[in-house]
Structure 1
Amino acid sequence: MAASILLLLSALILLSSVSSPVNSLSLNYYDQTCPNAESAITNAVKKGMMNDKTVAAALLRMHFHDCFIRGCDASVLLNSTGNNKAEKDGPPNISLHAFYVIDNAKKEVEALCPGVVSCADILALAARDAVAMSGGPTWDVPKGRKDGRISKATDTRQLPAPTFNISQLQKSFSQRGLSMDDLVALSGSHTLGFSHCSSFQNRIHNFDTTHDLDPSMQPSFAASLRIVCPMHNKVKQAGAALDSSPTTFDNMYYKLLLQGKSLFSSDQALLTTARTKALVAKFASSQEEFEKAFVKSMIKMSSIAGGQEVRLDCRVVR
């Protein structure tokens, strides 16, 4: 109970700083215009997760990838057209899935209040629900985002890559108004999900001129990854879970990171500065501290402005 109160207070405190010239967000944005929107979205996420355990990680990743390009404007949901290849078809986003969950939520919300709730707000709320339904914290999501009209696959080059070092990560996050503390907290989303071999191949084969394996990896862990991801892997779906409890939102990611059992170079990079390493250790030792920081950083990230309208179809600009 105390932890829930702390999370709510942190959300309310942070809300005072989540306005922008483009979007002004508020906790009660739909109270008068669509009071049942959140419950409809929650039900859609619940149905999706009942049928597919990977939905939670998919929705959280989708929201992150949306916000890091042009702000949180649901541009990641748009389909490619004859003369434009959209974000969802850019290389880093090819593995995104569970778009149907957002489609179903939008359909339900449109039935309640046509043309009122943005796809961007639906995605932000769905990501929150995905975390909560995976055993993580819940929080009040500031609302009032608008949907964008532009989605380009080439813009996905702006997404932080799993091969990034700490300097590259810091630059990527700071360009979006996010701090190193936010970087460590949001990296905790890697407690959910699965990665294909291509995202960590650089650490287990031909790491550098001296080492075939990344020496920062725990040897037996690296050896197990080489079995499922051989040098000339031909199994497109091959890969590994991001941590040992990939459908539960917990702090296991940080515990494994300290043991040399993380997948990405960008994960290992968090141990290369005193500040970020101290935060990793803090979150590894306290689920409550991790959740409190994660909620604060999620609200901050999901409030990056973008968009101008409310789309009636999350996949199409009309």
Structure 2
Amino acid sequence: MAASPSFRSAAAAGVLLAMVVAAVCLPGAAAQLCEDYYDDTCPDAYDILAIAAEISVELSGGPSWGVLLGRLDGKTSDFNGSLDLPAPTDNLTVLQQKFSNLSLNDVDLVALSGGHTFGRVQCQFVTDRLYNFSGTNMPDPTLDSSYRAFLSQRCPRNGAPASLNDLDPTTPDTFDKNYYTNIEVNRGFLNSDQELKSSPQAQGTTAPIVDQFAGSQDAFFASFAQSMINMGNIRPVTDPSQGEVRTNCRRVNGS
């Protein structure tokens, strides 16, 4: 049976939040929130993800926010929810449409993309920008030449596709505004990152927001915190007939 738009949106919210957690999890004590934190009981899988995201961001130097609890976990898995998620190759039009479909706006798009101030990504997601942008057999013209040379050494044309690189080459282990200062000088790692500033459509939409966050970490932190709350409010499952509180995070109750 096809999933309803509401359920798909709820599923996308959960997957998107899980991606944020994965991007900002820290080594040591903080990482324990991200793996096997509740082996025997699971008060609420979604709530655990939300709390882990907030703590991980705060411990890496980012903002804190009040986590709204009580969202039920879904009773089924829906792969189609992942179709609502932004892809690293998406252009700005696609990114804006995906966020709009989830009732999120341009500020949410730019602020949540700032989660890329922290984390690593595989070479396979940048090789097209380096060697065959849009099927031209040429590099992405928006990519800073010195940064392109650096990435070409890290990710040679026939190199290991799974080699990891910093999303933020300036301060890769700190949650700060340098994701935006990098984009300002054409050093966004993913195409979806640089599109926020360099796309012709960005002028008058997302580019001014990038400029604002590049100039003010406080503005970025405030918007990121609010956008995390907005994301958590995407069509929450509150009807017990549609959701449950899992006793084991890994599986639906009774399975």
**Cα 1:76/1:191, change in 2 over 3 Å:** closer
List runs of 5+ in structure 1 lacking aligned partners: 1-21, 23-66, 78-87, 89-94
Separation in 2 of the partners of 1:68 and 1:202? 30
Q: Percent identical across equivalent pairs?
A: 36
User: Larger deviation: 95-104 or 276-285?
Assistant: 95-104
CA RMSD, 1 decimal? 3.0
Distance, in Å, in 2 between the alignment partners of 1:295 and 1:75 is 15
Does residue 188 (structure 1) correspond to residue 114 (structure 2)? The answer is yes
Check conservation: 1:106, 1:119, Cα contact below 8 A.
no
**Matching residue of 1:4:** none
Give me the TM-score of the superposition, normalised by structure 2: 0.81
Q: Return closer, same or farther for 1:282/1:312 CA change in 2, 3 Å cut-off.
A: same
**1:303 equivalent in alignment to 2:238:** no
1:294 equivalent to 2:224? Answer: yes
Instruction: Please point out which of 241, 255, 259 is paired with 2:166.
Output: 241
Match of 2:121, SS state, is strand
The one-letter code matched in structure 1 to 2:107 is: D
1:125 aligns with 2:51: yes
Q: Determine the structure 2 residue equivalent to 1:80.
A: none
**CA offset at residue 247 of structure 1?**
1.5
Distance of 1:286 and 1:105 partners within structure 2: 35
Equivalent position to 1:253, from 179, 192, 215: 179
Extract unaligned runs of 5+ from structure 2.
1-5
Where in structure 1 do 4 or more consecutive aligned residues deviate above 6 Å?
Answer: 74-77, 95-100
Letter in 2 for 1:207: F
Q: 1:74 to 1:107 in 2, by over 3 A?
A: farther
2:84 is the alignment partner of 1:158:
yes
Q: Secondary structure at the residue paired with 2:205?
A: helix
Identify the match of residue 11 of structure 2 among 70, 73, 77: 70
Alignment of 1:307-318 (within 5 A): 308-317=243-252, 318=254
Structure 2 CA distance for partners of 1:312 and 1:131, relative to 1, 3 Å? same
Q: How far apart are residue 72 of structure 1 and its match?
A: 4.3
Task: Give, in angstroms, the shift of residue 199 of structure 1.
Answer: 1.3
Partner residue in 1 for 2:128: 202
Answer yes or no: is the 8 Å Cα contact 1:121–1:145 preserved in 2: yes
- How far apart are residue 105 of structure 1 and its match? 2.9
Deviations 1:47-106 (A, max 9, x none): xxxxxxxxxxxxxxxxxxxx96625457998xxxxxxxxxx9xxxxxx999997445432
Map residues 50-89 of structure 1 onto 2, 5 A cutoff: 70-72=11-13
SS of 1:162 mapped into structure 2: coil
Q: Which letter maps to 2:141?
A: P
Deviates more, 1:173-182 or 1:147-156: 147-156
Query: Residues 68 and 130 from structure 1, CA distance in 2 versus in 1: closer, same or farther, beyond 3 angstroms?
Result: farther
| Contact kept? 1:251, 1:287, Cα under 8 Å | yes
Given the two structures, how large is their TM-score scaled by the length of structure 1? 0.66
